[in-house]
């Protein structure tokens, strides 16, 4: 296949047994199990087990003792740096030198500890650490995450975070997962693959959209005029955050589940979000009649994370916490293929020419 596909849209790069979104938007299944069955039945750490080990037990372990020395206030940056450092501090071996069992254990330690890094980064500089015995009182990963961050875990916040993490734990071959697989395919260690994925996820077209949804809701709440807001964004040829998807051509099933959760948790933003969604969908249908642009996961994620009082700028790191499961599963799957990823590019640059034709070439003499 030599056809060039911008953004690799529709290109099949791997075969996977982990999960793949159903394009028409009906459902999202992890190892065959619909996420509708998981939410509220099993906590996130068991879903990690389902994705990585294809078994709920033992699931994701407890984090290793780790102190984030100087939180910067930028959680994705703290997470990326700390994850890369863990490779060296723990002496993680290269994937090519590990058997599957050891690679899985490295990924389990990393996944759990990355959550602790985000909680510590969120707590911030100059705050006393929450004592370990207080954190240990939490029964689930979401509870312990909140305890490590805030010293308390409101049950509504726990439900919001656990639901969000389960819904966004894995989603086939998106940019960060592709990055994790590419890095793993070089035989690098698991910390390198996970930290590379964090970098890919920090961009607003992938993991950062919820951070831009809430300001949008704030604005509509202030003006009480969603039509004017949407019209203005489209007139400036900008994107309405939380709509459109590379894969789905119908409603994202995660948006459906998260919308329901936002309602169940009595989000104070539910009404304005529903109204804006309605208006945006109508406007997008008119704006791009040939390309279905439906609500994506990020729109209702923003509302659910807001219930848990997650600050806007922490949403990419929250997404990274969720995605440690998907990344781990894909890194292991990639390791088993043992094949370096190395696609091709078609050269369309200048024809052969002398150095003297290039700007800045020193003139002799
Ligand atoms: N608002 C307005 N227009 C949108 C749009 C949105 N949310 N999403 C896509 N479009 C438009 C694009 O401007 C483009 O128009 P053009 O052909 O005139 O340039 C067309 O629809 C196709 O968009 P494209 O960027 O090719 O689609 P994609 O598959 O690459 O995009 C997203 C997928 C998610 C990156 C894109 O829909 C987007 O940027 N959404 C907003 C950000 C977001 O919610 N991200 C979270 C994703 S889960």
Q: Could you tell me if the CB of 297 is within 6 A of ligand 1?
A: yes
Looking at residue 137, the DSSP 8-state letter turns out to be T
Could you report the per-residue pLDDT of 99-129, keeping only the tens digit for each?
999 999 999 999 999 999 999 999 998 889 9
Report, in this order, helix, strand and coil percent for the chain, each rounded to 5.
55, 0, 40
Contact indicator for 300, 253 with CB cutoff of 8 Å: no
Q: Ligand 1 within 6 A of 205 CB? A: yes
- Distances in Å between the alpha carbon of 3 and those of 9, 13, 291, 340? 11, 14, 22, 21
Neighbours of 346 (CB within 10 A): 6
Could you tell me the CA-to-CA distances from 322 to 48, 58, 117 in Å, in that order? 9, 18, 13
Residue of the CA atom closest to atom 28 of ligand 1 = 246
pTM of the model: 0.92
Cβ of 240 less than 6 Å from ligand 1:
yes
Rounded CA separation 322/60 (Å): 12
With a 6 Å cutoff on the Cβ, whether 242 touches ligand 1 is yes
Tell me the sheet residues that pair with 295.
Answer: 243
pLDDT of residue 9: 83
Rounded to 10°, the helix 155-167/297-307 angle is 160
What percentage of the chain reaches a pLDDT higher than 90?
82
Tell me, using a 6 A CB cutoff, whether residue 201 lines ligand 1.
no
- pLDDT(188) > 90: yes
Is ligand 1 within 6 A of the CB of residue 288? Answer: yes
Percentage of the chain modeled with pLDDT above 70: 99
Rounded distance, CA 353 to CA 145, Å?
58
Q: Of all atoms in ligand 1, which is nearest to the CA of residue 9? A: 29
Residue 206's pLDDT band (boundaries 50, 70, 90)? confident
Could you identify the atom of ligand 1 that is nearest to the CA of residue 234? 2
List Cβ neighbours of 52 (8 Å cut-off, separation of 6 or more).
60, 104, 107, 108, 325, 328, 329, 332
| Protein residue with its CA nearest to atom 5 in ligand 1 | 239
Average pLDDT of the chain, as a whole number: 94
| Res. 25 pLDDT band, cuts 50 70 90 | low
Q: Of 50, 70, 66, which is closest to residue 58 (Cα–Cα)?
A: 50
Q: Which atom of ligand 1 is nearest to the CA of 291?
A: 21
143, 277, 298, 334: which one is catalytic? Answer: 298
Q: Say which residues have a Cβ less than 8 Å from residue 122's Cβ, sequence separation at least 6.
A: 75, 149, 311, 314, 317
Q: Is the CB of 156 under 6 A from ligand 1?
A: no
- Cis peptide leading into 58, omega within 30 of 0? yes
Backbone Cα Rg of the chain: 22
The residue from 45, 245, 294, 330 that is catalytic is: 245
245 carries an active-site annotation: yes
Ligand 1 site-directed mutation target among 21, 231, 244, most atoms within 8 Å of CB: 244
Let me know if 298 is a catalytic residue: yes
d(CA 121, CA 321): 12
């Amino acid at each position: 296949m030599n056809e060039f596909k911008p953004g690799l849209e529709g290109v099949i790069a791997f075969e996977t047994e982990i999960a793949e979104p159903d394009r028409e938007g009906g459902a999202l299944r992890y190892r065959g199990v619909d996420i509708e069955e998981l939410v509220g039945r099993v906590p996130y750490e068991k879903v990690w087990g389902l994705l990585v080990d294809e078994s709920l037990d033992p699931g994701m372990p407890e984090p290793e003792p780790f102190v984030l020395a100087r939180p910067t206030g930028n959680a994705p940056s703290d997470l990326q740096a700390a994850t890369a450092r863990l490779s060296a501090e723990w002496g993680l071996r290269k994937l090519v030198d590990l058997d599957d069992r050891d690679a899985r254990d490295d990924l389990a330690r990393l996944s759990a500890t990355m959550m602790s890094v985000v909680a510590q980064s969120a707590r911030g500089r100059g705050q006393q650490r929450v004592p370990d015995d207080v954190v240990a009182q939490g029964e689930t990963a979401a509870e312990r995450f909140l305890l490590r961050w805030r010293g308390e875990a409101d049950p509504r916040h726990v439900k919001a975070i656990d639901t969000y993490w389960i819904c966004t734990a894995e989603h086939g071959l998106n940019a960060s997962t592709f990055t994790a697989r590419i890095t793993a395919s070089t035989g690098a260690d698991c910390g390198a693959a996970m930290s590379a994925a964090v970098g890919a996820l920090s961009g607003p077209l992938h993991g950062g959209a919820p951070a831009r949804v809430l300001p949008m809701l704030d604005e509509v709440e202030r003006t009480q005029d969603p039509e004017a807001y949407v019209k203005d964004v489209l007139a400036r040829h900008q994107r309405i955050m939380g709509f459109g998807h590379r894969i789905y051509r119908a409603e994202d099933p995660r948006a459906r589940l998260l919308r329901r959760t936002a309602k169940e948790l009595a989000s104070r933003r539910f009404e304005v979000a529903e109204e804006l969604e309605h208006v945006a969908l109508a406007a997008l249908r008119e704006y791009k009649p040939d390309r279905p642009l439906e609500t994506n996961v990020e729109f209702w994620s923003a509302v659910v994370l807001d219930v848990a009082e997650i600050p806007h700028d922490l949403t990419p790191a929250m997404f990274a916490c969720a995605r440690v499961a998907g990344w781990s599963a894909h890194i292991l799957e990639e390791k088993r293929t043992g094949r370096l990823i190395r696609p091709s590019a078609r050269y369309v640059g200048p024809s052969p020419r002398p150095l003297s034709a290039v700007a800045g070439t020193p003139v002799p003499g």
